[in-house]
Amino acid sequence: MEAKTNTKVVIFCGGKGSRMWPISSVGHPKQFDAIVGKTSFFRQTIKRVLKGFKPEDIFISTGKDFQEIIKKQASEIPSQNIIYEPEMRDNLGAVGLSAATIAHRFKDSVMVLLWGADHMIKKEAVFLKAIKKAAQLAYENKKIVHVDVWPTYPSVHNGWIKIGKKIKIDESYDTYEFVKQVEKPDLNIAKKFFKSGSYLIHTGYMATKPELLLEYYKKYTPRNYKIIRRIADSMGSKDHQKILRSQYKEIERTSVDLGVFTKLAKGTQMELPVDIGWVDMGTWGLLYHGLPKDKNGNVVIGKAELLDVKNCLVFSRDKKISGLINLSDMLVIDSQLGLLVCPMKDSPKVKQLYKQVSKKI
C-alpha cells in the first residue's frame, strides 16, 4: 500500500528554448509550441499530471513574461499556484524559490520536481505510479529520490547518474544507491558511461522534502541560499514582492545541477530506474533520437522530398516542399523565424548560434 503523503508537484517551464531555434525563441520557447502533435509539450504535461493529481496540488514555475500563455494552456491550475520568477536566472533560482514556496505554504510536504515541459512520456500510468512511489520514499527517508531511465545511446545532451548497489527491492521497483552525477559529458566519456551499464540518464524527475533541498543549498551554495532565505522570510508579508524583485536578481545565473546536484555526496539520493517511455525533446538532436525513423533513418516533420538522404531530421511547417539530395546526419529546420542547416553532431551549438542571431533581431 502507498503511504499517503502531502505531495505537491512543481512543473518547471521557464526555459528560453534557445537550443531549438528557429522554432523556439526567448519570446516563444519550445515548450509552449506544438512541435509534435496538435498540442504543446507543456499542455501535454499538464494533462498528464492531472490524471494523477488534483489541480490544487500542481504548481508551475515560470517567468512573468509567460503569464498569459500559462493562463491559456493551464487554465485548470489555480492562479496562486503559479510561481513567477521576477526575471530569468537559470534554474538554480527557480528551484530554490519553488522549494521555499512549498516549504512556507505546506509543512511536512513532499515536492515532486518535473522538468517535463519539453518531454514526451509514452507510458503515462507507469510514470504517475513511479513519481508517487518516489514521493513516498522521499517522505520515509531523508533523501532525494529520482525517477531516471536507462540510456539507449551515448547522449551528450543529458546529465548522467552513476548508480551503486541495489539498496531496496519491493514488488514493483528496484532502488539503487546514488553515487554521483555528471553533467553533459563529451562523446568519448558518454560512450564509456553507456558501455559501463552503471549509469542512468537524468530525466530531472525527483521527489524531496523541500526543507532537505534547501539544506543542500545552504551547504553547497551558501551565498545563493542566503538570498533565497531572505525571500522566504518575507513570504506572507506586504513587502514580499518588493523583496523578491530586489533579491532574486542577485542569485547566481547557473543550473541547479551544477550548483547543487553534482556536488552531492554518495548515498544522499536514491535512484528508481523506470521505463516510462521517456523522450527528451530539449534539442534537435534529442528530438531526432526520440522519434520513429523511416527505412533510411530519417525523421521528416512537414513536407519533404529526399534523394539519397540518410539519418537526417527535416522539419518544415510551411506548405512549401523541402528538397534534400545526398545528405547524411544533418539537421534541416525551416520556420518563420529562420533556417537552420547543420550536422547532427553539432546540434549542441545551436544555443551558441542563437546568441549571435538574437543580437541581430
Q: Are strands 269-273 and 299-301 parallel, antiparallel or unpaired?
A: unpaired
Residue type present at position 112: V
User: In CATH, what number is assigned to the domain containing residue 237?
Assistant: 3.90.550.10
pLDDT by residue (tens digit) across 32-57? 666 666 778 888 899 999 999 999 99
Mean per-residue pLDDT over the chain, rounded: 90
Q: Quick one: 226 and 257 in the same domain?
A: yes
Q: Quick one: 336 and 221 in the same domain?
A: no
Domain-located, residue 1: no
Measured in whole angstroms, how far is the alpha carbon of residue 276 from the centre of its chain? Answer: 15
Grid coordinates standing for 34? 506544438
Domain boundary among 223, 251, 283: 283
Q: Which domain does 302 fall in, by range?
A: 292-358
Q: Quick one: 256 and 298 in the same domain?
A: no
Instruction: Say how many domains are in the chain.
Output: 2
Q: Quick one: 78 and 147 in the same domain?
A: yes
Q: Quick one: 201 and 59 in the same domain?
A: yes
Q: Quick one: 261 and 322 in the same domain?
A: no
Domain-located, residue 111: yes
Residue type present at position 257: D
Q: How many CA atoms lie less than 13 Å away from 67 in the CB half-sphere?
A: 8
Q: How many CA atoms lie less than 13 Å away from 196 in the CB half-sphere?
A: 15
pLDDT score at 319: 76
Domain-located, residue 216: yes
Q: Say what the pTM is.
A: 0.85
Domain-located, residue 121: yes
Q: Quick one: 228 and 298 in the same domain?
A: no
Q: Quick one: 46 and 153 in the same domain?
A: yes
Domain-located, residue 296: yes
Distances (CA, A) of 252 to 1, 49, 158, 230: 42, 30, 22, 15
pLDDT above 90 covers a percentage of the chain that reads 65
Domain-located, residue 2: no
Average pLDDT over residues 286-303: 90
Sequential DSSP letters for 33-94: S-SSSSS-HHHHHHHHHHTTS-GGGEEEEEEGGGHHHHHHH-TTS-GGGEEEESS--HHHHH
Q: Quick one: 303 and 244 in the same domain?
A: no
pLDDT band with cut points at 50, 70 and 90 for residue 1: very low
H/E element holding 210? Answer: helix 210-220
Average pLDDT over residues 249-277: 94
Q: Quick one: 38 and 100 in the same domain?
A: yes
Domain-located, residue 169: yes
pLDDT score at 30: 60
Name the nearest CA neighbour of 256 among 25, 99, 40.
99
Name the nearest CA neighbour of 94 among 237, 209, 260, 242.
260
